[in-house]
Amino acid sequence: MSKTLLRNILTIAIFLAISWAVMSIEQNDYDDHNPEMAGYFEGDIMPDFPTRNGFPNRKWPNNTIKYVFSSSFTEAQKETVRQCCRELENKTCVRCRETIFLDYEYVYIKNDPVGCSSQVGCQYTWVQIMNLGPNCLKNHVIVCHEFIHALGFSHAHNSYDRDDHVRINFENIKEGNGYNFEKKEDSLDCLVPYDRESAMGYGPYVFSKNGNETITPLDGNYTGMGQRNRIADSDIEKINRMYCFNNCTATTNTTTSTTTTTAATTTIL
């Protein structure tokens, strides 16, 4: 069998595998005001998700997340994704690398108009799916929200200690969406305290059925809730603790006050 024929067969096989993966994920309507409400678990987490905040067992090999763009991306849209990658690379030891279909263990980034979504962590399969619809590419922080999911982190509002900081108003949540607010008692927060301004957090009206708040800060301070203007320092610290220092194996409520204080004051250069 010639090398050309073998290459063509492999290309067709990869295309079919990706097509199957895409079709196997239910496509739902999403909230036009929040592209991360893509109809999946917690809005933007695709199937095969873990149930904690940080997942060291889903780290990408060699601290490198590989990805392939679908053919529907424009150069300007690709640049928004690359801007996210540059910030992650500048502030963490994580590396992003564009690759080709014939590679293995990479993220296939679609551009379908169904919001933003990602699987959580490396799935250790041939290919996994991320979707960045047009509204997800308005700024690079929205993109980074999905990339941080892909790196192995879930949402801030599901953290084990969220009840110390916010109140979940279940009476205002859309029917059938209460599971999106389940608290993860076994969260691994990498010794980084809860941060209302995390780029992985949601705003006060997410999944609201009546226009009233679903998430209310206990201190009355709404500053930064659900912001997508910057990657918070806490997000960067979590990534570095998981990927750079292999120090994402405990929660702050299981450590001594000395350890917690040290974690809170550690500076990542």
> Which residues are catalytically annotated?
146
Tokens of 40: 């999946």
Contact status, residue 230 vs residue 193, Cβ threshold 8 Å:
no
Contact status, residue 97 vs residue 65, Cβ threshold 8 Å:
yes
The verdict on whether residue 149 carries a ligand-binding annotation is yes
Instruction: Look at residues 186, 200, 183 and name the one whose alpha carbon lies nearest to residue 239.
Output: 200
Q: Is the dihedral of CA 124, 125, 126, 127 positive or negative?
A: negative
The verdict on whether residue 165 carries a ligand-binding annotation is no
Tokens of 215: 């998430």
Contact status, residue 119 vs residue 45, Cβ threshold 8 Å:
yes
What is the Cα gyration radius of the chain? Answer: 19
**What Cα–Cα distance (Å) separates residue 157 from each residue in 44, 145, 164, 206?**
14, 14, 11, 11
First-to-last C-alpha distance (Å) of the chain: 52
Q: Which residues are annotated as a binding site for Zn(2+)?
A: 145, 149, 155
Q: Which residues are annotated as a binding site?
A: 145, 149, 155
